[in-house]
């Protein structure tokens, strides 16, 4: 379970996937040669995202060391019978348990989507780039996710001029 849970949390936190998107991933959605992952987003949209090294490593570790050998084509499986693909609720339960183990206030998978956006912003990605990764149609949607790093803004802000009496 630990390897599977790490793969789930890594997909959410690094690629900003939604819980349902993680749950719908199939083995064939990972294109190792091209270094990308196909995500079924909202509606019938298929999107290709680059497969970050740490995400790929977490998936490989789960597939090689922990995933049971079953006919099910879901990438991530339940840990108890029947061994079928995780549901959105299963993905949420994994995140809630991981957060509790880390001593965090209760968090859900959507918080990790915000984390991914904030981290991309912190490393210099534009809102347009972040919106592309999060698969938003409008830039306004992305702005909600990419929370402002106040400490970083302080270095850019001009000092307020003092008023002389």
Q: Which residue has the tokens 């079924």?
A: 40
Q: What's the confidence (pLDDT) of residue 39?
A: 92
End-to-end CA distance of the chain: 68
d(CA 141, CA 160): 31
The answer to whether 84 and 72 are in contact (CB under 8 A) is yes
CA atoms 8, 11, 14, 17: torsion sign:
negative
What pLDDT does 153 receive?
53
The confidence score (pLDDT) of residue 127 equals: 84
Cα–chain-centroid distance for residue 22? 8
Neighbours of 94 (CB within 10 A): 24
* Contact indicator for 110, 16 with CB cutoff of 8 Å: no
CB neighbours (10 Å) of residue 118?
16
**Which residue, 72, 74, 64, 78, is CA-closest to 5?**
78
Active site residues: 18, 42, 110, 113, 136, 145
- What does each of the 165 residues of the chain score in pLDDT, given as a tens digit? 899 999 999 999 999 899 999 999 999 999 999 999 999 877 777 889 999 999 999 999 999 999 999 999 999 999 999 999 999 999 999 999 999 999 988 899 988 888 888 888 888 888 888 888 888 777 877 777 665 555 555 555 566 667 666
Are the C-beta atoms of 151 and 120 separated by less than 8 Å? no
How confident is the model at residue 63, as a pLDDT?
97
Residues 6+ apart with CB under 8 A from 93: none
What is the pLDDT, as a whole number, of residue 128? 84
Predicted local distance difference test score (pLDDT) of residue 122: 84
Domains and CATH numbers, the chain: 2-105 (1.10.443.10)
Q: Which helix (DSSP H) or strand (DSSP E) does residue 111 occupy? A: helix 109-122
The CA distances from residue 90 to 4, 77, 109, in Å, are 12, 10, 11
């Amino acid at each position: 379970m630990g390897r599977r849970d790490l793969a789930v949390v890594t997909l959410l936190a690094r690629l900003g996937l939604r819980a349902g998107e993680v749950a719908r991933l199939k083995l064939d959605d990972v294109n190792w040669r091209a270094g990308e992952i196909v995500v079924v987003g909202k509606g019938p949209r298929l999107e290709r995202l680059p497969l970050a090294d740490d995400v790929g490593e977490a998936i490989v570790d789960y597939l090689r060391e922990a995933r049971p050998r079953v006919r099910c084509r879901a990438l991530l499986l339940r840990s108890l019978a029947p061994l079928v693909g995780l549901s959105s609720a299963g993905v949420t339960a994994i995140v809630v348990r991981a957060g509790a183990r880390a001593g965090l206030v209760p968090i859900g998978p959507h918080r990790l989507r915000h984390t991914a956006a904030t981290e991309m912003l912190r490393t210099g990605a534009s809102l347009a780039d972040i919106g592309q990764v999060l698969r938003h149609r409008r830039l306004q949607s992305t702005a909600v996710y990419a929370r402002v790093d106040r400490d970083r803004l302080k270095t850019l802000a001009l000092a307020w001029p003092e008023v002389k009496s």
